[in-house]
Amino acid sequence: MATYLSDRFLTAFSMAFRLHGEQLRKASHTPYIAHLMTVASLVMENGGSEDQAIAALLHDAVEDAGGKDTLEIIRGEFGEYVADLVDGCTDSYTQPKQDWKPRKVAYLEKLKKASDDVKLISLADKVHNARSIVRDLHRTGDHTWDKFKGKKAGTVWYYHSLAKLFDDTPYTILQNELRNLVDEMQTLANLMENS
């Protein structure tokens, strides 16, 4: 089924740019908006609707740019469904964020109960994040882990947990890519540990 985009997508992109335009990705210094565009692209490439692509563009807005107030702005602009998708992808509503490990454990529990629509966006997000981690491991080696609050052990645990959780979703291509990336992440972590 083809996904056709309307002016709503452009409005969402403008909102994402306003909220994240000055942010950069950890370590790579790539504009953060590139991550949001990639996640939206992966969602559409895997059968997502325009609303799901809009939620993909805004999936970090609540967490990183305003909390529940931002969620209500999204609800007013794009409706309940998009707001619910964004909410389902959110692991923190306050700044500073809660401690890393309890937040990630809570998010994994939240994802277990989430709809397949939410899981599609979260899975696309995690695939792109895992790609970036693997790329950075090839580029900067063990120093890659320094940028993560969970460091090496926590980050690898989290991605293994995510890959296992996503095994029961209908998005086989993304599932397989995440599983392969997590395997490569683990292999590289082991090699660097033993070198």
Q: What amino acid positions are annotated as catalytic residues?
A: 63-64
Say which DSSP state 24 is in: B
Separation CA 112–CA 84 (nearest Å): 15
**Both structure tokens of 77:** 């602009």
* Cβ pair 37, 25 in contact under 8 A: no
Please name the helix (run of DSSP H) or strand (run of DSSP E) that holds residue 108, with its range, or none.
helix 100-112
Task: Calculate the alpha carbon distances from 157 to 24, 108, 183 in Å.
Answer: 25, 12, 12
Q: Is the peptide bond before 96 cis (omega within 30 degrees of 0)?
A: yes
Task: Provide the token pair at 167.
Answer: 């095994």
